[in-house]
């Protein structure tokens, strides 16, 4: 079992359906299937649809009320849970940005949201905060509320464990937490959005022609657009040494000369996505078409906007002191340079307003 405790990470009602989303049922599936599920005292067990997906599972059932009492009784135990409907108007028609994170610096989160609002047409954000220790989830909420262009946002206090990472043999088959988050975001928040981009805090997408990513997807007929990531190395070639300020993505624009070769991330149009499709980290399963990366879209993957939590580290990655320390051939990524230059005046003003929040983190 995933963490020996979690059967469902969350339960909610959307559009007349009760969703129960969590880690793989695994050896608990027979017991769950033999349990009695009651919704407002009505036995709905026969109508429950159990689905086993890649590194996560979901169960759902049509319901005739937007909120009520769910009772589960069976071999695993007995539970009573009050379940409510999630309001579907918050992100209707929005261009949504979704991530899961823990302990990233608040200035990184701020710049990530700010950049995507100004460059990629994002107007809404959902952050799954995976039990950060350096600040509260409320601090992220306060930061996002002050980002120009972000009209709506939600910070989810997400205590579902991330799961095991790839290990020494790079076998990624037990990182359940992120897969559960993406499915939860799709069903709970993104279903009425115009677009949803799923990326990490250390990643900034950009279109080679300068157009907003959300607009490029909207003008296509695709259900999703995939883009490879280009490593941006940790020498701060853009840093203004005369103006001390917290490190952000905008300090770096030296990308590996071989271009965008890291596994892709994506943006998708919820209304175009097949219901059976599943959002994985780098691909969308059962999309119906190949997950081919776009040639004219990529993302910078910033080495310095990172804490090596997989190694148990708590401090941000140290910058190189000179460009000579970079082992790989690098070149300036001109599109990032241009985007960063354009955003400097507005970011300086925003940074000053957010400074009191930055100073409160550990």
Distance between CA 29 and CA 35 in Å, rounded?
10
Distance between CA 317 and CA 104 in Å, rounded?
11
Cα angle 195, 197, 198; round to 5: 140
Give percent helix, percent strand, percent coil of the chain, each to the nearest 5.
Answer: 25, 30, 45
Q: In this predicted structure, what is the pLDDT of residue 3?
A: 67
Give backbone dihedrals phi and psi of 355, rounded to 5 degrees, phi first: -50, -45
**Residues with pLDDT less than 70, the chain:** 1-3, 166, 169, 171, 241-244, 309-314
Q: In this predicted structure, what is the pLDDT of residue 241?
A: 63
Q: In this predicted structure, what is the pLDDT of residue 227?
A: 98
- Answer whether 233's CB lies under 8 Å from 320's CB: yes
Token representation of residue 193: 């959005």
Q: pTM for the full model? A: 0.94
C-alpha to C-alpha distances, 326 to 26, 137, 228, 318, 350, nearest whole angstrom: 45, 35, 21, 13, 32
C-alpha to C-alpha distances, 67 to 70, 80, 84, 112, 331, nearest whole angstrom: 9, 13, 4, 35, 55
Give one DSSP letter per residue of 107-157, joined into a string. Answer: HHHHHHHHHHHHHS---EEEEEE---SSS-HHHHHHHHTTSTT--EEEEEE
**Residue ranges covered by each domain of the chain:** 10-83, 95-358
Residue 283: Cβ-neighbour burial (10 angstroms; 0-12, 13-18, 19+): middle
Token representation of residue 172: 């990624």
Task: Tell me the CATH architecture of domain 10-83.
Answer: Sandwich (2.60)
Pairing of β 330-332 and β 56-62: unpaired
CATH of the domain spanning 95-358: 3.90.550
Residue 292: Cβ-neighbour burial (10 angstroms; 0-12, 13-18, 19+): exposed
C-alpha to C-alpha distances, 360 to 18, 31, 112, 158, 246, nearest whole angstrom: 39, 47, 19, 22, 13
Distance between CA 183 and CA 185 in Å, rounded?
5
């Amino acid at each position: 079992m995933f963490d020996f405790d979690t059967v469902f990470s969350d339960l909610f009602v959307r559009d007349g359906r009760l969703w129960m989303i969590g880690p793989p049922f695994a050896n608990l599936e027979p017991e769950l299937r033999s349990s009695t599920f009651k919704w407002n005292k009505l036995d709905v067990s026969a109508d429950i649809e159990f689905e086993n997906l890649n590194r996560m599972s979901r169960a759902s059932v049509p319901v005739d009320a937007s909120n009520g009492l769910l009772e589960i009784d069976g071999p695993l135990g007995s539970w009573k849970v009050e379940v409510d409907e999630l309001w579907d108007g918050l992100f209707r028609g929005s261009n949504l940005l979704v991530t899961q994170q823990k302990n990233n610096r608040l200035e990184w989160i701020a710049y990530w949201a700010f950049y995507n609002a100004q460059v990629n047409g994002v107007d809404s954000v959902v952050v799954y905060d995976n039990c950060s220790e350096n600040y509260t989830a409320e601090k992220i909420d306060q930061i996002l509320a002050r980002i120009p262009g972000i009209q709506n946002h939600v910070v989810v206090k997400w205590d579902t464990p991330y799961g095991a990472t790839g290990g020494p043999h790079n076998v990624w088959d037990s990182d359940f937490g992120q897969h559960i988050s993406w499915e939860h975001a799709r069903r709970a928040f993104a279903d009425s959005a115009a677009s949803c981009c799923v990326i990490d805090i250390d990643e900034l997408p950009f279109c080679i022609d300068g157009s907003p990513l959300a607009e490029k997807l909207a003008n296509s007929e695709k259900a999703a657009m995939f883009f490879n990531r280009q490593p941006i190395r940790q020498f701060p070639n853009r840093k203004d040494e005369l103006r001390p300020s917290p490190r952000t993505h905008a300090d770096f624009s030296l990308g590996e000369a071989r271009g965008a070769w890291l596994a892709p991330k994506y943006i998708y149009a919820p209304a175009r996505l097949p219901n059976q499709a599943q959002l994985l980290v780098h691909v969308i399963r059962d999309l119906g078409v190949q997950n081919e990366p776009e040639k004219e879209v990529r993302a910078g993957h910033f080495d310095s906007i990172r804490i090596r939590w997989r190694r148990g580290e708590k401090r941000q990655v140290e910058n190189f002191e000179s460009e000579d320390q970079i082992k790989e051939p690098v070149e300036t990524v001109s599109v990032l340079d241009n985007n960063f230059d354009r955003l400097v005046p507005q970011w300086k003003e925003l940074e000053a307003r957010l400074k009191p929040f930055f100073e409160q983190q550990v």
